[in-house]
């Protein structure tokens, strides 16, 4: 079996730290050197220069799979990058935090190397990714009523399942955003972080419908060597148990808005999710919904 996997390029690729990146076959099937980014033009962008989005990224790299092998992951560069481009072009600033302020981990093997817009974005934000803010510090010192945020954004990549779903600061941030009528944006595996909003008084998103990466697809990916084993746990299953309905069954371009939660299903949704998020925030700021101290 191992011989056949190597022959067909389906064996996961070892990394320098003893983990595994996706196989050549998986990269061919699941990634692309370009994206469907539509250019991010907005006829009437926000020009107030104040409204911002707080992006919460993972600072963890390796996921221990059910068989004990480690998958080299992080935030997916397309799922993170295309929505960032849309938000920036719509006029919103982006502040980046990780739980402790450690560098953002990015799935560089999924970087679209022939997409100049995405490559420029990552050059422009290189220092911010290497030196992000600390979510712990933000929660302790800056989570105030007059903070200039319109949304919290949790990008995708399997890394969103590492350290965020059980982080109490993530839970506090989600509740703060909800109480202030801010928007929460999450794509692909990003909705796993919503699990942090479970508490003694119940789950913040009980009864919500979302688009997210299906557990069923995660179960299939080890066959092509995308991961070196099966997932250690299933975030969709846990969200379902807390009363969340996932509207899509495929890793497709599905996006969904339920109240102030905007979600997307997969890398295929990144452009549409980014535009939907940007348009939703523009409409909210124009109408004076969020933040209450900002306007166009």
- ∠19-20-24 over CA atoms, to 5°? 160
Nearest to 154 by CA among 196, 212, 100, 194: 194
For residues 76 and 120, is the Cβ–Cβ distance under 8 A?
no
The vertex-265 CA angle with 199 and 171, nearest 5°, equals: 20
The rounded distance, in Å, linking the Cα atoms of 77 and 257 is 23
Q: Catalytic annotation on 57?
A: no
Distance (Å) of CA 243 to CA 141, 199, 291: 32, 14, 28
List of residues 6+ apart from 73 with CB closer than 8 A: 61, 62, 63, 105, 107, 157, 158, 159, 162
How buried is 287 (Cβ within 10 angstroms: 0-12 exposed, 13-18 middle, 19+ buried)? Answer: exposed
Q: Where are the alpha helices (DSSP H) in 72-154?
A: 77-89, 116-124, 126-130, 135-141
Question: What secondary structure, in 3-state letters, does 92-104 show?
Answer: CEEEEEECCCCCC
3-state secondary structure 182-228: CEEEEECCHHHHHHHHEECCEECCCCCEECCCCHHHHHHHHHHCCCC
The residue from 160, 185, 188, 227 that is catalytic is 188
Catalytic residues: 188
């Amino acid at each position: 079996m191992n011989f056949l996997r190597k022959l067909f390029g389906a064996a996961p690729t070892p990394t320098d730290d003893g983990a595994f990146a996706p196989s050549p076959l998986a990269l061919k099937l699941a990634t692309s050197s370009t994206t469907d980014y539509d250019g991010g033009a907005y006829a009437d962008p926000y020009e107030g220069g104040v409204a911002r989005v707080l992006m919460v990224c993972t600072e963890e790299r390796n996921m221990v799979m059910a068989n004990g092998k480690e998958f080299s992951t992080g935030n997916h560069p397309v799922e993170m990058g295309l929505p960032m481009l849309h938000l920036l072009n719509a006029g919103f600033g982006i502040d980046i935090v990780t739980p402790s302020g450690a560098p953002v981990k990015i799935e560089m093997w999924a970087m679209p190397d022939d997409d100049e817009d995405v490559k420029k974005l990552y050059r422009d934000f290189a220092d911010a990714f290497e030196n992000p803010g600390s979510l712990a510090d933000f929660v302790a010192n800056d989570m105030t009523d007059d903070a200039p945020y319109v949304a919290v954004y949790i990008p995708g990549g399997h890394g969103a399942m590492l350290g965020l779903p059980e982080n109490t600061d993530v839970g506090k941030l989600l509740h703060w955003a909800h109480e202030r009528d801010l928007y929460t944006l999450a794509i692909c595996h990003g909705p796993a972080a919503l699990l942090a909003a479970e508490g003694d008084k119940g789950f913040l998103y009980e009864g919500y419908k979302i688009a997210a990466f299906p557990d069923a697809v995660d179960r299939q990916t080890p066959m092509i060597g995308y991961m070196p084993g099966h997932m250690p746990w299933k975030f969709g299953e846990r969200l379902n148990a807390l009363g969340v309905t996932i509207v899509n069954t495929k890793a497709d371009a599905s996006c969904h808005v339920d109240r102030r939660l905007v979600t997307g299903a997969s890398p295929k949704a990144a452009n549409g999710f980014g535009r939907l998020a940007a348009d939703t925030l523009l409409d909210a700021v124009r109408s004076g919904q969020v933040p209450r101290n900002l306007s166009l």
